[in-house]
Amino acid sequence: MGRKLDPTRKEKRGPGRKARKQRGAEVELARFLPPVEEQVSPQKEKHAVKAAGQTARGRSGFSDGNSKWLAPAKAKKIQPKGNHVELSSDGEVEESSWEMEEEEDGSSEEMVDDYGASSSEEEELLPIEKAALKQKSDREGLSEDDSEEEEEEEAEETNKQKMGQKEEEGPDLQLNLDIDEQFKLPTSEEIEKEDILFISPPDLHVIHQRIQGNVEVLQDFGVKREEGRSRQEYLTLLRRDMAAYYSYSDFLLTKLMDIFPLPELINFLEANEVPRPVTIRTNTLKTRRRDLAQALINRGVNLDPLGKWSKTGLVIYDSTVPIGATPEYLAGHYMLQGASSLLPVMALAPQENERILDMCCAPGGKTSYIAQLMKNTGMILANDSSAERLRSVVGNLHRLGVTNAVVSNCDGRQFPKVLGGFDRVLLDAPCSGTGVISKDPAVKTNKDEKDILRCAHLQKELILSAIDSVNAASETGGYIVYCTCSIMVEENECVVDYALKKRNVRLVATGLDFGKEGFTRFKDRRFHPSLKSTRRFYPHTHNMDGFFIAKFKKFSNAIPQAKKEPAVEAAAPSTVPDTITEPPPKKKKLEGSKADKEQKLPQPALKKKRSFQAQRRPLKA
């Protein structure tokens, strides 16, 4: 069959592989053989024309600039009957006669080169075919060149327009950068206008940029401050902007600005806008962490170990099933519990066969963790003042398989009189919740000074009751762990310092390798130096809820006597719950007054009174 010509093919090709390989042999052979002209028979020429489907054309080459790569490929052909070689005008063998003779011989097999690879038909085009391809490509190239030139012109125009836009935008961007670098306080008139505009939603992007610029100025106030402006003006504007941007009350922001440096305060506020990771605690009373992790992974849960500091915690990234309703959860293999809630129990370090009091136990996560560390030995008294919250405690203890717990509903402040002599006490005191703002955003606005002082007063009463409930003579214990989910100094360091002054206790190391040290001085207050052993945890540094932990060691059951004046003691009777209450002395005074009256009465009157009392007794019976 003849070669098929694809007229739409526009690729420009050079000589084929055979021509490239055999060119050197042609030159060598042309040196030794005499030039012999062999005329091509008309039959051969017709055969070649019929094979190509084209009219016969001259073979003297091409006159345009592409003659080098459009020239016919050179090949070597050794005649079987004689040494007759057809040479071109430049002394090389013409490929046309070589291919025509090959076709005349009737060889339909493809030629195979030295490496065994067959030459493709596309690389072995006849000169007539190449001339036809060139002619068509020249015709189509004119229209294509025109279209290509138009496209190039359009592309250049668009590029020029883009460059012009960039040049126009460049000065604006530089001006914006200059404005950002040079932060200036707004005037009172601008602030009043913003207050009027705050009726509608404020522009948070502008406020955020102003917060960043203000913080930069306050960090290097001596250099970047505006002349004639005080630091207090910058702080007032910053507090106002942060209150608008993060939706905090002015009171709470003032408290937070006293606790944190400005850059750390921004990180704390940003961390409160993001929820903490979901964490679970493995119940080792029923399973192992490795087995639980494998079971949850098989259900489509993506998890990792919580950290090197915890042997039971797992952090959940995402899940295809609800974590609080899996068969493993219902079987009590794990407990949904925050990472920060594991730390107080680890600091308490309960031992087997001990008597432990959990004074504020709801919803039962810490109680069940204590039970699993004790391996269901000893006794745990789980107490809470709310009867409704105790329902969740009972349900969790049953689900998790805790058998060494006793649940009670008592006021923690009266607990030393109810029951005492415990080896260890855990007090997770009720607090303002400023460490768990990510869980309860309402704390941003619904807390004021009275709430903080009310919580601090209750915490002082509870910590004294917890210390009095511990037996200092315990062989293995005598420890109290006080913790809150608040970061306020009034609820943490102030309460701990108060307990150190009122009871025979001292602070010891919590046993936790991480966490920030507690404050030993805050504003105008000075605390005991041992408060360095307390630990603070923040959401922006430890990626867990804000928490405070302190661990006491009781070294004497005796209550130190107050050295203050009696008038001062009467003014604050609630600070020491074990002092003698007022009703018993009143009864004694009444009894004493009756005895004095009887002594003053004469003997006959006494006899009449006693006889009258004797007559009334049978009536009562």
Mark the binding-site residues for S-adenosyl-L-methionine, compressed into ranges.
360-366, 384, 411, 428
Looking up tokens 């910053």 gives: 238
Both structure tokens of 390 = 């105790």
Backbone angles phi, psi at 317, to 5 degrees: -90, -55
- Cβ distance 19 to 74 under 8 Å? yes
CA distance 538 to 515: 8
Instruction: Using alpha carbons, select from 543, 548, 546, 547 the residue that is nearest to residue 278.
Output: 543
- Cβ distance 465 to 482 under 8 Å? no
SS3 344: helix
Chain centre distance of CA 317: 10
Residues paired with 319 in a beta bridge? 301
CA distance 469 to 465: 6
* DSSP calls for 224-274: HSPTT--HHHHHHHHHHHHHHHHT--HHHHHHHHHHS-HHHHHHHHHHHTS
Both structure tokens of 539 = 């959401």
Both structure tokens of 302 = 């993506």
Judging by DSSP bridges, how do beta strands 479-484 and 547-554 pair with one another? Answer: antiparallel
**Cβ-count burial of 202 within 10 angstroms (0-12 exposed, 13-18 middle, 19+ buried)?**
middle
Give, in degrees to the nearest 5, the angle at Cα 388 between 384 and 389: 50
Instruction: Using alpha carbons, select from 394, 347, 345, 369 the residue that is nearest to residue 280.
Output: 369
Q: Is the peptide bond before 35 cis (omega within 30 degrees of 0)?
A: no
Backbone angles phi, psi at 290, to 5 degrees: -65, -45
Q: Per the annotation, where are the binding residues?
A: 360-366, 384, 411, 428
Angle between helices 262-272 and 204-219 (to 10 degrees): 150
Show which residues are catalytic.
485
For 516, the enclosing helix (H) or strand (E) is strand 516-517
C-alpha Rg value of the chain to the nearest Å: 49
Instruction: Using alpha carbons, select from 380, 394, 345, 370 the residue that is nearest to residue 285.
Output: 370
Judging by DSSP bridges, how do beta strands 355-358 and 379-383 pair with one another? Answer: parallel
CA distance 150 to 169: 29
SS3 125: coil
CA distance 359 to 425: 7
